[in-house]
Structure 1
């Protein structure tokens, strides 16, 4: 089978035993196919299955149950998998845009919504779905930090829905500060909170007050897709190779934090990643010390 032959050749080129591969060997081979051979995801999945058939049942099971391997396949299977360490993550155009928008108080609601979504997602390492599930009634603001409460994010624990608190610190420059952007956004939308309270999109028995609201009808929540579009309005300013998929705020924030020296263990905790191995596998990192995610990411 083509996949088996390609894997055997590749492993021999690496000086590895093709009949005794590790989960990391298989991931590295799939990476090779994706990045260098430009294989389609359907081809990668077919080759993965064919390669596993080379191995005894016990070894197949060991690889399939490897935590990193399972997470890798989930990300690869989204159709947007691309290791950001193969690209240049340049936030300079984004920072220039945020500065050009001016102060929060005089900003129109459309730009303020996009800015708030982008800053919270990037500095909080959040998905659009996380912002859509944030219950503003439970969020807390104290001094220079904001605690968002994400009700029923995509992450689960032992198959059960969870509530995820996310702490986001302020930035000394107002143009780049997610906390000040949040404060102004709430100033304009909080009077509609009692009308906005609604059934949670993932639980018919749970009520919540959505943070992100419709532009003209602040009593209505923004959908995950709408939040994603607002984030992309700003993210699209980042230069990237046309062959690469659009960057995600969660990925860019993670990569920028690591490059600025935030320890990987802190990134795992802040982003609610399943393990350090996931971050290690998807990003080239520095382990120099840093403490403020917002300042580190937007510098």
Structure 2
């Protein structure tokens, strides 16, 4: 697609999204609020953009209305994307949501029986999904991080190390790490935190000890017990409302080189003076915004020291290691901020094989 064509399609896309509420009896203030929701620079809207652009091009080529199309038109578009590009079902489902947003009555597509049957048919014909994936041993990465000299490594390496350790201890996504305000991060003494009755504190403490053990005998001062921080506006919401999620990460009791708190203290001393209000900054131009994809790059490079599996999620690996270490599943679900255990089981849990000895228990002569 030529650049001029892309520009025209993008202009039309924004125009449709910006004007779809103007034909109603809504006040101008109400229209503006609804329009901002569909055109704001959010992760959901960014993920919708490609499907919307592809549909506008397809609609133009096939003389189809780009904002008054029918469910059959949408089915034909998805079928064309499947046959032409062989997109996965999950991608086509994303396209369905994205394209529906362009319609003047997007809610009418949610329960259309033919459209739902088409998606269900694609899902049933898709290649089988492997449920069980081997738990990844992070020791090679931990050994590498332990060997880093916090005082002499580059800004990128220091940030990557801190991001990785926090990602493991708190099941953070790259976007979560991106949304940690610097002024929310503080060190709290053990004498203060001991008076708090917070299940999340217990969970993080257990995770920190279980996942970062056996790498050093140097002890961290017990006076610096917890690293407290917040994630503002994570992906999860509560009843549609944005949230602020608080975390307390215990200083590692056995390893100073793998201690998230100690790593933060070293990083904070050398963090560039800049206008950024976030914990992590752009390593090349600290005053410029840091993208979540950059943090993902830091984590992916460290993960490659432990696995060659492509597109692995540190959030998934850490949660599976927590289960293998004896952390109760309820605590893992709470720590990961999942809405329910089925979400964790379906999307993040890697280990789906029972470790119980069914053979000796069930096959007997007694």
Task: Compute the TM-score of the two structures, normalised by the length of structure 2.
Answer: 0.49
Which of these residues, 192, 199, 203, is aligned with residue 273 of structure 2?
A: 192
- 1:100 to 2:181 alignment: no
**237, 240, 251: which one pairs with 1:170?**
251
Say how many residue pairs are matched.
202
* CA RMSD across the alignment: 3.3
Q: Is the partner of 2:243 in helix, strand or coil? A: strand
- Aligned 8 A contact 1:134 1:211 in 2: yes
1:238 matches 2:303? no
Q: If you compute each CA radius of gyration, which structure gives the higher value, 1 or 2?
A: 2
For the residue of structure 2 that corresponds to 1:106, the secondary structure is coil
Name the counterpart of 2:214.
none
Is contact 2:230–2:244 with CA below 8 Å preserved after alignment? yes
**Equivalent-residue separation in structure 1 for 2:323 and 2:90 (angstroms):** 32
CA separation of 1:285 and 1:261: change in aligned 2, threshold 3 A: farther
Structure 2: tracts of 5 or more residues without a match? 1-85, 94-110, 112-119, 189-223, 354-366
- Tell me what 2:339 maps to: 274
Superposition deviation, residue 175 in structure 1: 2.0
Q: Distance in 1 between matches of 2:251 and 2:187?
A: 11
Structure 1 stretch displaced more, 154-163 or 169-178: 169-178
CA shift, 1:266, in A, is 1.1
The question of whether the paired residues in 2 share the 8 Å contact of 1:84 and 1:255 is answered with no
**Structure with larger RCO (C-alpha < 8 A, sep 6+):** 1
Task: Please name the residue that 2:287 is paired with.
Answer: 219
Does 1:156 pair with 2:237? yes
Contact kept, 8 Å, 1:87 with 1:240, in 2: the verdict is no
**Please, which of 101, 110, 114 is the counterpart of residue 156 of structure 2?**
110
1:69-108 aligned within 5 A: 85-101=132-148, 103-108=149-154
State the secondary structure of the residue aligned to 1:121. Answer: helix
> What does residue 313 of structure 2 align with?
248
Specify every segment of 5 or more residues in structure 1 that has no aligned partner in the other structure, as ranges.
Answer: 1-38, 47-60, 62-72, 197-208, 287-299
Q: Which has the higher strand share?
A: 1
